[in-house]
Structure 1
Amino acid sequence: MRPAFRLLALCAACAALSACEAPPEVGRAITAQERAAAYPPLVPLSPLLTAQPEQITPATEDALLARAAALRARAARLRRSPIGAGERARMLAGPNI
């Protein structure tokens, strides 16, 4: 084997072993409070499986079209913001690190 591959395999093995953790407490004792706790209520599954009423209606489409138009108008207003050419160029250039 090539030395680079051996080093890579060693690093991978070390990383895998360092990720090991103690197993969860599977065999711990159940407390008296946990024993006395009530079971959660069971709910019937049939209401969840029945057909739901249609949520998208013709009014939904009209509302979405109106919202899209309002957002486009807002975007147009924001594009006309009073930022000078120098400031715009500085912002488009990105952070100066």
Structure 2
Amino acid sequence: MVFRFAQSETVQFRTGLGFNWLEDDGHTDAGFNFTYGVDIYPSRPWVFSTTLDLGALGHSGLVHSRTTVGFQWKRLEVFTGYDFFKVGSAEIDGLISGLQIWF
């Protein structure tokens, strides 16, 4: 569950707690995480966003970070950025791009 706790015309901050779940062939791990994020709107139509998740999955630590820059038109955003995900010693990272609908 994530809550926006501060905002202005050019920035909004959010934080929350969540539940992690991973299941594969006969093995299940679960844990909790803390999320903190910020969206910055320097000038229309640009938006810079970053999110950090810290937590656990089973007995392993979990770190997830995503930073993007996007072009927003009405409630639709086209974005590109970088995503980093680490569970224990396993890391997955790389460039990302996509579409996002804002509510």
> Which TM-score applies when normalising by structure 1?
0.16
The structure carrying a bigger strand percent of its residues is: 2
Q: Which has the larger radius of gyration?
A: 1
Larger relative contact order (CA 8 Å, sep ≥ 6): 2
> Which TM-score applies when normalising by structure 2?
0.15
The structure carrying a bigger helix percent of its residues is: 1
